[in-house]
Structure 1
C-alpha cells in the first residue's frame, strides 16, 4: 500500500508542500483537508478586492481544487476541517462540514499548514456583529458582502500595521468614511523606527483617513467603537492588529511550540514528532541577522518553507536558511519597506548600533517626476555590518529594499554596500543610489 501524506490546510503552505512532495514521490497517496471554499489563493490581494482593483475573488486563486486533483493527483477535500490529531495512532479526526459527519483519516506523514488568525483583543463586545479580521479569502468575501449589504458608510480600522493600512486605504477607495484607531503614536510602530514611521502619519491623513494615533480602543457595541476620547460610529470594524499562529491543533496533539505559540520546527521544517512537518504562518522560522527563532507571517516565507517541507516529505533533503524580515506595502502614493532589524530589535538582540537617516529622491532630483524618499540604515558599531534598513517614499522607492535584503543575506558591511556596482541613469536613480547614500553616511559613523 502507498504511503499516505495528509495535509491540513489548503492554502499556500499546505498545497505548496503537497505539490513538491508529489513531484519528488509520484507514489504518495496525498489527501489535503481545507475547511474553506478555495485553495492556493493570494490573501495579500484581499485589500485590492475590497478597493475594486480585483474584479472577482476567483481572480486571486492561483490553482483550484480540480486543478490539484487532475494535474497533481492530490485528493483535495473542501469544507473538511481537521478537528484533532492523534500522534500515537497516526490519525486525524475530520469534520465534513457539508454532510455534518466526523471520521478518522490515517496518515504515515502529516503536513500542518494551518496558517494564522487575526489578533482579537480581549475587550468588551469584541465578538459582536460586524467586527472582522481578514486572514482568508473567505474572510474577505464575507466582509465585502457585509459592507455591500449594510451600504457601509463608516468603517473603523483598529491597528495600523500592514493589514490595517491596506484595509483602511481599500475602504477609502470603496467609498466609506474611515477612522483608524492606533494605541501607538505612529503607524507600523513594530516595523519602523520612530523617525521613519513619523513620515507615514502625513501620508495616512492625506488619504482622508481620520487617524487617531496614541488612542486606544476600550470596547465595542453594535454600531459603536468606544475610545478614551469618546465613541466612534462604525457600520463595520476591521481588525488590523496583526496575526497570531494558528497552532491550536498542534498544541492539543502535543507538538512542541516555539516563538509566540507557533509550531517549533527545525531547518528541514520537521516538528518534534517524526513524520510530522509544518510550514507557513503556523510555524516559527529563524532570523539570519538576530540569530533568533521568530514568527513571521508572510506569503513569501510560507511558500519557501513549504517547498523545503515538500522536498523532505518526498524523500529528498533540503534546509531553510531563515529570513531577514523583508516586507513592503503601499499607502496610496507612499511606499514603505523594511528589512533586517529595527534599532530596538538590534539592541534587544545584543548589537551596539549606529544609524543614519537620509532624505533623497527616487530618481535624479532635477527631473520633474522625482519624488522624495527617506532611507534609514542601521549597522553594527566597529564591524560596520549592515543590520537593517527602512524606506518611505514615492513611486519607485520601496523595491530598493531588495538591495539591502541581499546585502543582509550576504552579511555585508555598509562599506561593501557603498561599493556595489548598482545601475544608474537619471530616470531611474541619482548617481549614488539612495541605499548607498544611507550606507555611506553610516560608514562614516562606524
Structure 2
C-alpha cells in the first residue's frame, strides 16, 4: 500500500510542529511529509526578535528551535525558499515556486496543512518602503535592522505603533543608545489594555526617556539624502528619524485560502473546528497565525498571533493527521510583555470587548506590591479586574507593574479557563512568603474588591 502524502505550507511553529508530531506517529513508509517554507529559516521564535535586537540574546541561531537539516534528518522533505502560490482544492494539489530559480511545479496531497502565518501591516504611505524603514516579522527582518543600526550615524529612532512589538522595539532601540519616539493612533499605548491601564504604560515609558505620541496617525515617511527615511510625519508634526521601525500589527496571511474559497472569519483568519480542520474540508487543517480561534470568555472567534497557540495548534494537527486524536478548545487571550523594567500583562476581555458582546459588568482597580511591603525590592503593581454583574464571573484582568507583575496574570488565566467567579478566586490558596508576595496577593486583592462591588451593585 502506497504511503499517504501530507503537504505542509509554512515551516515555522505550527507547520513544523504538525509535521514533527505526525512523523512521530507514522513512519515514512506510511506517511510522506513535504513541507514548503518561503524563507531560509524554520521553527524559530519570532517573539524573541526584539530581545535579540536589544542584545539580550546574543546569537540569532539561539532563536531557532530546529534547523532545516534537523527536520530533514527526521524524514521530512523540507523545501526551503519555496513559496506556495496556488491551492487546487478540487485536485488536491499545491503549486510551488522556487524563489532562487523561478521553477514552478505542482505537488499532490492526501492531507494538507496550512500554516502560512501572518503578514505585518504596512500601510500604503509615501516612503513606507524607503531604506531605513524596518519591520520585525522574520529573522531576516531582525538581521536587516541590526545591520542598519550598526551603520547608522544618527541617533533618532521612531517606532510606529505601540502594541507588543512597538513597546518591545522601543526598549531595544533605547538599549542601542537612540532617542526614541513612539507614534501611534490610539489614545494610549498598548491598545490590548483599557485606556486607563495604557496610561500607566505611557507614564512609565515617558519616565524612561521615551517620547510617546498618541492619537496621531502617520501620513508619510519623509525621505532625504539617498532616498533614506529621515522623518515620520503626522498631521500635526514631523519627528526626525534615522531609523524607523514598524510595529503596527499583523493580519492573517490567507490570500491562498481566500483564492481557494476556504472559509474565513471577520478578521480574515481561517475558520477551523476543534480538531483544527478547516470547516467543511475533511483533508485540510490550519493552525498558527493564519487562523481564528474561539475566545472562551466571549464565545466569539478572534485572531491572536502568538507562538504559544501556534505550537499547540501544530501538535493537535499532527496528532489528527497522524491518526491519533486531539483538540484545541480555545483561548482566553493571555499575553505578557515588557518595556525596560515595566511588565505588562492581560487576559480575558477589555471593557470594550465586554460591551461588544452585550455583557453587563463591574470593574475595579487595586494597588498593591510585588512582595511584602517591608521586604527589600517590593515594587508597586496595579491590577484591574472585570467581572460579570450579578454572577460575579471573572471576565478579564490587566496588570501593570515592575518585577514580579507580569506572570501573575497566569492565575487569572487559569481562573478564566475554569469559569471561576471573583468570589471563588478570593478563596484561592496561593503561595505566600514575604520575598514573593504580600499576605494578600495582588490578584486576590483585586478579586476581593471585585467581589464586594458585585455584592453591592444594583
Shorter-chain TM band: over 0.9
Aligned counterparts of 1:140 and 1:375: Cα–Cα separation in 2: 33
Of 294-303 and 123-132, deviating more is 123-132
Secondary structure of the structure 2 residue equivalent to 1:260 = coil
Secondary structure of the structure 2 residue equivalent to 1:261 = coil
Q: Decide which of 261, 278, 283 is 2:268's aligned counterpart.
A: 261
Aligned counterparts of 1:361 and 1:56: Cα–Cα separation in 2: 35
Secondary structure of the structure 1 residue equivalent to 2:407 = helix
The aligned runs of 1:104-143 (5 Å cut-off) are: 104-143=106-145
| Equivalent pair of 2:170/2:339 in contact (CA under 8 Å) | no
Of 60-69 and 191-200, deviating more is 191-200
Q: Which residue of 1 aligns with 2:209?
A: 208
Structure 2 residue 288 is the aligned partner of structure 1 residue 286: no
Residues 358-399 of structure 1 show CA distances to partners (whole Å, capped at 9, x for unaligned) of 111000011221100000111000000000000001101111
Residues 414-445 of structure 1 show CA distances to partners (whole Å, capped at 9, x for unaligned) of 01100011111111101111101000000001
Q: Which residue of 2 aligns with 1:400?
A: 408
Q: How many residue pairs get matched?
A: 444
Residues 284-313 of structure 1 show CA distances to partners (whole Å, capped at 9, x for unaligned) of 110000000111101111111111111111
Q: Which residue of 2 aligns with 1:63?
A: 66
Q: Which residue of 2 aligns with 1:218?
A: 219
- How big is the shift at 1:125? 2.9
Q: Which residue of 1 aligns with 2:366?
A: 358
Of 202-211 and 33-42, deviating more is 202-211
Output the aligned Cα RMSD. 1.2
- How big is the shift at 1:228? 2.3
Aligned counterparts of 1:367 and 1:269: Cα–Cα separation in 2: 48
- How big is the shift at 1:151? 4.0
| Equivalent pair of 1:172/1:207 in contact (CA under 8 Å) | no
Q: Which residue of 1 aligns with 2:16?
A: 15
Aligned counterparts of 2:320 and 2:154: Cα–Cα separation in 1: 48
Residues 259 and 20 of structure 1, relative CA distance in 2, 3 Å threshold: farther
Secondary structure of the structure 2 residue equivalent to 1:259 = coil
Q: Which residue of 1 aligns with 2:51?
A: 48
Q: Which residue of 2 aligns with 1:176?
A: 178
- How big is the shift at 1:256? 1.2
Residues 322-376 of structure 1 show CA distances to partners (whole Å, capped at 9, x for unaligned) of 0000000011111010000011111211110011101110000112211000001
Secondary structure of the structure 2 residue equivalent to 1:444 = helix
The aligned runs of 1:239-318 (5 Å cut-off) are: 239-271=246-278, 272-318=280-326
Q: Which residue of 2 aligns with 1:443?
A: 451
Of 79-88 and 384-393, deviating more is 79-88
- How big is the shift at 1:128? 2.8
Normalised to the residue count of structure 1, the TM-score between the two structures is: 0.97
Q: Which residue of 2 aligns with 1:84?
A: 86
- How big is the shift at 1:152? 5.3
Normalised to the residue count of structure 2, the TM-score between the two structures is: 0.95
Of 379-388 and 259-268, deviating more is 259-268
Listed as ranges, the gaps of 5+ residues in structure 1 are: none
Secondary structure of the structure 1 residue equivalent to 2:453 = coil
Aligned counterparts of 1:366 and 1:352: Cα–Cα separation in 2: 39
Aligned counterparts of 1:95 and 1:123: Cα–Cα separation in 2: 29
Q: Which residue of 2 aligns with 1:328?
A: 336
Aligned structure 1 segments of 4 or more residues deviating by more than 4 angstroms: none
